[in-house]
Amino acid sequence: MAKEKGRKLIAQNKKARHDYHILDTYEAGLVLTGTEVKSLRQGRASLADGFVQLDGNEAWLHNVHVPEYSQGTWTNHSARRKRKLLLHRVEIDKLEAKSQETGHTIVPLALYFKDGRAKVEIALARGKKEYDKRQTLREKQDRRETERAISAVRRKQRA
């Protein structure tokens, strides 16, 4: 069987980018059981309520929903168990120091396979206030309107 190449996205946490200012991102490996890997290969997972907690010298991913494997037997995993993240010691120390600051948290952004191995992209983030969310939405709408106006002018020039 040929080894997979590239990146295959499984799940993305779009709400995290809406609710938080992303300060720094990291790629971490995941410690998974066999049925979890098979369930992920079917493209089934949810990062909606997920967060990362640093416990001692280890990082743990909590509340990420990986549904039970449909053909699994009594060895099936529980859907919302905590999963260990594989990070370098320097990265864990940086995350621990920065997450101690008020208002900072660590959230998962994406879950994917990279060259056949399950990875999760985590981010050090600071919560947005309501007016920050409105400002971001307004900027996005303004950008979209300017792109539409520019493309309309270009279409008229070609015609």
Distance, CA of 62 to CA of 103 (rounded, Å): 19
Q: What is the pLDDT of residue 123?
A: 93
Task: Enumerate the domain spans of the chain.
Answer: 7-128, 129-158
Distances (CA, A) of 30 to 85, 102, 105, 131: 5, 27, 19, 35
pLDDT digit string, tens, across residues 86-129 = 999 999 999 998 888 878 899 999 999 998 888 999 999 988 78
| Token pair 């980018």 in the structure block, residue | 17
Would you tell me which CATH number, out of the four given (2.40.280.10, 3.60.21.10, 2.40.50.140, 3.90.1170.50), belongs to the domain 7-128? 2.40.280.10
The reported pTM is: 0.75
